[in-house]
Structure 1
Amino acid sequence: MEYLYGIQIFLILMFFFFSYLILIRKNYYLISGFKSSTAAEQQKMIQAGYPRAAGKMMLHVAIVLTIGFLLQLLHVPYAIEGSYVVMLIVLFIETFLMMKKVKRKSQKINKTVLMLSLILVIIVFAIPFMPNTLEINRDSFEISGLYGEEWTFSDIEDISLYDELPEVMIRTNGISLFGKHLGKYHLEGLGAGKLFLRSNEAPFIVVRTKDSFVIMNTNQSDKTLESYHQLEQAIQQNTDN
C-alpha cells in the first residue's frame, strides 16, 4: 500500500471508529474534557449536545476523507489533497461550534487537538517538496532524498529523453501531490520503476536498467536537459572504459 493511501485509509478508519464509539456506543469518556468533569458537568454537556456534536464531527470528517479517497481511485486530480482541505474546514467550523457548548478547560483541549490536526496535514502536504538531488559518481548515479536509491552504470541499458510519459497503471509505494510524483510506480510498457518528477512538463529523463527504470525531471526544462547531458556523458565514459 502506498504511503499516501496508507495515511488516508488510517485516518478514515480512525474517524469512523471513534464516531461509532461515541454515537452508537456512547463512550463519551473518549471526548476531551468529559472524563475530568464532574457528574453534574457531564450531564450539562450531554444536555447541551456536546458529545453527539463531537461524534458527528468525526463522522463528517470520515465521510469527507472517504469521498476524497474514492475520487482519487477514479483518477480525479488532487482529490486527496482537496479532502484534506475540506477536512480542515469541517474541523475548524464544527470545533468552533462545539466550544460554545463546553467549559473553558475543554475549549483549550479542543484547540490543541485542532492545531495537531492542522500540523499533520501541513506535514503531509510538505513531503513532496522535500528535495531530491541527482549525484553522479564514478561508476554510479544516485538520487538522494525521499525514495532515493543508487544505480550502477553497468546495470543501465539505455538513457533517453521523453516528451511524454506512458500511462501510470498503479502507484505501489509513492506520493502524487501538486503535480509531483515520487516513489515506486508501474507504467504501461515500462513495468515497475521509480519516478522523481517535480513537474508534469517535459522533458523527462528516462533511464532503463536490466529489470527496472528511473524517470526524473526538475521544475525547469533547461536544468533537466543539463542533468540529462551530464548523466549521459558519465554513462558513456563508463561504457568506454
Structure 2
Amino acid sequence: MWGLLVVQLIVIFIFLILGWAVRRKGGYFLISGFASRPKEEQETLIKNGYPQKIGGLLIITAIGMLILLPLLFTTFKYAIEIQYGFMIVVLMGGLIYLSKYEIPKKRKRSYFINISIFIVVIGGVLGLSYFSYQGYELVTKEETFEITGMYGDEWGYKEISSIELMDNLPEVTVRTNGVGLPTLSKGHFKVTGYGSSLLFIQKDFSPYIYIEMKDKKIFINDKDPDQTRLWYHQLKEKKK
C-alpha cells in the first residue's frame, strides 16, 4: 500500500511541476512537438493560449488526483482504478477539448489524433481489465494438474514437494509480473517468508492452498471455500 502511495505522489508531483513550468514559467518546450514547430506556429499557439492551457490541464489533473488520494486509506476497493481512470479521462478529454486552440489548418488533424488516442487507450484499459478479471480453475488430470487462464500452466504431480491448506495468506509485498486488482491477484509476486511466488488469489476468501514445487511456489484459492478445499483434497489424493 505504501508503495502505491509513493508512486501516486511521484506522479502528482511530476504533473504539478510540469504544469507550473509550462503555465507560469513559459517552459513551452516541455510540450511534445512544440519546440520543433515553425516560429510562426509557436507564436500563434501562444497567442491562442494553447500551451498555457496544457499547463493548466496538468495542474488540474494533479489536484484531482491529490483530492482522490485519501481513498487509498479507506476500505473502498477500487481506489486505484478511480484515480487512474480520472487521470486518463481528464488528460485525454482535455487534449481533445484543447484542439480547438490549435492553428486552423491543423485543428481537424489534432481532433482526429487525440480522439483516436483516447479510443485506443480506453479500449486497451477496458480490454486488459476484462481479461484480468477473468477467472481460473485448478484442473486435476491423470499425471498433471493445470491452472487455467492468464499466468496459468500445467505441472506434474511429481514436481510437488508439499501441499498445505492455509487459513491466512502471508503478506504479499511486491508485484513483479502480474495483475494486482482490488479483489484479485494473478501472476508473480513477492510473498513474505516465501519469496517469489505465483498467485491465483481471490482476496479475503479463506482458505488458501499453498503448493511448493522444486522451482516454484503457488498460492491459489476460490471464492467458494468448499471449492478450494475440494482442490486441496484432489491434489493431496493425486500426490500420493
- The normalised TM-score by structure 2 is 0.69
Per-residue deviation, 1:86: 1.8
1:45 matched to 2:45? The reply is yes
- Partner residue of 2:186? 182
- Contact 1:174/1:185, CA 8 A, preserved across alignment: yes
Match of 1:142 among 140, 146, 152: 146
- Partner residue of 2:111? 107
Per-residue deviation, 1:144: 3.1
Query: Given the superposition, is the C-alpha separation of residues 89 and 144 from structure 1 closer, same or farther in structure 2, using an over 3 Å criterion?
Result: same
- Partner residue of 2:212? 208
- Contact 1:84/1:121, CA 8 A, preserved across alignment: no
Per-residue deviation, 1:44: 3.7
Unaligned runs of 5+ in 2: none
Query: Given the superposition, is the C-alpha separation of residues 143 and 64 from structure 1 closer, same or farther in structure 2, using an over 3 Å criterion?
Result: farther
- Partner residue of 2:124? 120
- Partner residue of 1:197? 201
Give the Cα separation in 2 of the matches to 1:149 and 1:63.
Answer: 43
Whose RCO is larger (CA < 8 A, sep 6+)? 1
Give the Cα separation in 2 of the matches to 1:138 and 1:212.
Answer: 21
Matched pairs, number: 222
Unaligned runs of 5+ in 1: 237-241
Q: Which amino acid aligns with 2:49?
A: G
Give the Cα separation in 1 of the matches to 2:179 and 2:52.
Answer: 35
Match of 1:26 among 25, 28, 53: 28
RMSD between superposed Cα atoms in Å: 4.1
Deviating more after overlay: 194-203 vs 23-32: 23-32
Q: Which amino acid aligns with 2:28?
A: K
Give the Cα separation in 2 of the matches to 1:122 and 1:153.
Answer: 37
- Contact 2:93/2:118, CA 8 A, preserved across alignment: no
Give the Cα separation in 1 of the matches to 2:81 and 2:214.
Answer: 36
Question: 2:209 aligns to what SS in structure 1?
Answer: strand
- Contact 1:181/1:196, CA 8 A, preserved across alignment: yes
- Partner residue of 2:166? 162
> What are the Cα deviations for residues 83-125 of structure 1, in whole angstroms up to 9, with x where unaligned?
3122134225523542443455033332222222322332342
> What are the Cα deviations for residues 132-168 of structure 1, in whole angstroms up to 9, with x where unaligned?
3323233222223322233321222222322211111
- Partner residue of 1:152? 156
Question: 1:150 aligns to what SS in structure 2?
Answer: strand
Per-residue deviation, 1:176: 0.9
Give the Cα separation in 1 of the matches to 2:113 and 2:213.
Answer: 53
Give the Cα separation in 2 of the matches to 1:117 and 1:64.
Answer: 20
- Contact 2:77/2:183, CA 8 A, preserved across alignment: no
- Contact 2:31/2:51, CA 8 A, preserved across alignment: no
Give the Cα separation in 1 of the matches to 2:164 and 2:234.
Answer: 12
Give the Cα separation in 2 of the matches to 1:92 and 1:211.
Answer: 44
Give the Cα separation in 2 of the matches to 1:149 and 1:178.
Answer: 24
